[in-house]
Chain A
Amino acid sequence: MAVALRYGRKVWHRRERGAQFAIWLAWLAAAAIFIYCWQLISDKTIWAFVTDAPTQAADLAVRMIPPDWGFIAKLGRPLWDTINIATLGTAIGIAVAVPVAYCAARNTTPSVALVRPVALFIIVSSRSINSLIWALMLVTILGPGVFAGILAIGLRSIGFCAKLLYEAIEEIDESQVEAVRATGASGAQVAAYGIVPQVLPAFAGISVFRWDINIRESTVLGLVGAGGIGLPLNSAITTLAWTKVSLILLIIIATVVVSEWVSAKVRHTII
């Protein structure tokens, strides 16, 4: 407890003077970095275009309202494709992520020196390349279509799922594993009865969470030709059909809200 004497009275402070000063310095440094970066961004900006933005926004709003409701009949199939891309992609991602996570967790990996770094590299490279870039490359290789989208989502999901899963495996209670091993269980039995029941809730939560994210990600894959609702969105934007664009955006919001609700419900039931 830090108490300072001021005018003969004791005044309570949250921190000691030194700690308070260190925190103040950290804030000062952060503010200086922020202002420096802002200055550099500002130099590269044409401010005339920025001040013009309200006019542009009003113009765009006039062109987008009302949404072209008649177009909705043609959006059923792309929406179905989008949901399939997200679901099948998540399934592929999880199927690959489980062994990778098993190899990456410190307490289950076959070799800390050899296997673990490889697994960590797989996780980091899958995570740091956006699904849109994966899709961009896969469309060149596999041709445009839903299949490239599914693989792109799958490749991107591996890192995310494996990272969260291996952290969950590292946090398990070792004494349970030991108890199962003490009964004379084999390696596979130890994994099935000692480790799996402990990480199963986390595993289910991670899968549903990633599925929810993937729904959102798969709405844009069409921009590079990988199927889903992004295809009509892209063609509507390039042909300046703004009433169609607003309809598609409304449908995307509705889908995302529903998927978020489903994922919250499922996670609530499991955990």
Chain B
Amino acid sequence: MSTVSIVPRLWEKPPLIKPAWVRWALGIGAVVYLALALGTTDVNWPRVWEGLPRGARFFAAFFPPDFTGHRDDIVNGILESLWMTVVSTVIGIAISIPVGIGAAKNTAPRPVYYFCRGILAVSRSFQEIILAIFFVKLFGFGPFAGVVTLSFATIGFYGKLLAEDIEDMDFSQAEAVRSTGAGWLQWINYGIQPQVMPRMIGLGLYRFDINFRESAVIGIVGAGGIGATLDTAFARYEFPSAAAILLVIVGIVMALEYSSGYIRRWVQ
């Protein structure tokens, strides 16, 4: 008679990163970086401590939000922001379609590809504020500089995502259209456009939302919209008005988010 010994075994979760040395190197690297970064970040704790009650007073000054005191300014600013958003989203997307097609590896020859990728890289590198400073210098104060800024920023965002979407699509459909003898424009219109359209509509709505939010800050450097009103409210220490403006922005962004979900479902 033989005995079968049952050794209790414990299951262990397999590690996320297989090679042990990579795990250790990443961990030690993270710790060293954190030590360096925190060591060189000089935080003036007494100043922070002193600032906390000031911060409490600051936020207390926001309440109650004053919607009526500068009603006309707020309404005008918000409307101007909305116009800027509409115009710049349309112009930006219109320009980014050819740029995006040019920046996709499977639709453009090499020189065009590098040129269009260059446009996208420059447009994506700069934050809207930096662009706005320069466009205000070139085109003068007012919403026109804001429209140019937002359109330019839209090209980088939308063009890059469009190019990636075209590169990821099912190429056999496009090939089938081409094999019927379709010209280049027909090929784009019937072979590629239907495949990328649903996602692109969603992204267009998302960019509309981003452009509206950005239009709230580029006004600080003089490019029109609600940002100018907000900046003036801060500069004049009229915090209740500033709170009202911020709440209006949050409200509109929320409304845009709900309607974008609705439109997306309707399109699909």
A195 contacts partner chain B, Cβ-Cβ < 8 Å:
no
Q: Are B129 and A150 in contact, CB atoms less than 8 angstroms apart? A: no
Q: Which of the listed residues A42, A128, A147, A260 has the most CB atoms from chain B within 10 Å of its own CB?
A: A128
The docked-state distance in angstroms from the alpha carbon of A233 to that of B137 is 15
| B-side contacts of A80, CB under 8 Å | 40
| In the complex with contacts A129-B250, A237-B133, A33-B138 CB distance below 8 A | no
A172 contacts partner chain B, Cβ-Cβ < 8 Å:
no
B87 contacts partner chain A, Cβ-Cβ < 8 Å:
yes
Q: Which of the listed residues B42, B43, B139 has the most CB atoms from chain A within 10 Å of its own CB?
A: B139
Residue of A nearest to B16 (CB): A200
| A-side contacts of B138, CB under 8 Å | 53, 56-57, 60
| B-side contacts of A100, CB under 8 Å | none
Residue of B nearest to A212 (CB): B124
A46 contacts partner chain B, Cβ-Cβ < 8 Å:
yes
Interface band, chain A: 35 or more
Q: Are A137 and B58 in contact, CB atoms less than 8 angstroms apart? A: yes
- Chain B 112-132 interface residues, beta-carbon cutoff 8 Å to A: 121-122, 124-127, 129-130
Q: Select the stretch in A66-74, A102-110, A216-224 that faces chain B.
A: A216-224
- Chain A 37-65 interface residues, beta-carbon cutoff 8 Å to B: 37-38, 40-42, 44-46, 49-50, 53, 56-57, 60
- Chain A 122-150 interface residues, beta-carbon cutoff 8 Å to B: 124-125, 127-130, 132-133, 136-137, 140-143, 145-147, 150
- Chain A 182-200 interface residues, beta-carbon cutoff 8 Å to B: 193, 200
B52 contacts partner chain A, Cβ-Cβ < 8 Å:
yes
- Chain A 59-116 interface residues, beta-carbon cutoff 8 Å to B: 60, 80-81, 84, 87-88
| B-side contacts of A60, CB under 8 Å | 134, 137-138
The docked-state distance in angstroms from the alpha carbon of A84 to that of B34 is 9
Name the contact of B84 in the complex, choosing from A41, A193, A257 (C-beta under 8 A): A41
| A-side contacts of B133, CB under 8 Å | 237
The docked-state distance in angstroms from the alpha carbon of A41 to that of B16 is 54
